[in-house]
Copies of this chain bind each other. A is one copy, B any other.
């Protein structure tokens, strides 16, 4: 995993997803070097970069042009831009255009999660994976609901990570926001 501090960050763009959560998302996504991955809401590029070093191709999209720029900067910094296509725009519109792919990562959805997941699911290749990361209580539930409606039983993991900070007095446990990862595998 790329260490958190090696990402260029910006006040105006969320992310990058922290190392331990990126790790769990990658586990659930099971990306192989044959796969095309779509990263919806690429933000700072946290997940885009991890996908880029595992997949054949990554399509990273965000409606915020600053997120697209920041993801580009991070890709360049780490030398991963060749297999990544960046697209600025709304998730639903862009998904509409795409051919089928193996993995859909959803890190942002601004109130439209059900439509994005439904549209994405329809484009998933057989045995494709969808992984939704959420920090909002409501998004978790929406992700579970829509996946159940699509006929699958999602895997739900809430991960609460604390990092130890080594200080002269001892190891201070620093809490992080709990993140929920909802994922599912499409049948074949």
Contacts and interface: CB of A to CB of B under 8 A. Distances in A.
A77 interface: no
A146 to B, nearest CB: 13
B166 A178 contact: no
Count identical subunits in the complex: 4
A98 interface: no
Nearest to A167: B136
A110 B27 CA distance: 30
Contacts of A20: 24, 27, 157, 159
Contact of A175 (B136, B156, B160, B166): B160
A169 B27 contact: no
Contacts of A135: 172-173
A32 to B, nearest CB: 13
A93 interface: no
A164 interface: yes
A188 interface: no
Nearest to A156: B164
Given A161-B158, A166-B148, A177 B174 contact: yes
11 contacts: A19-B27, A20-B159, A23-B27, A136-B169, A137-B137, A137-B173, A144-B171, A157-B161, A162-B175, A162-B177, A175-B176
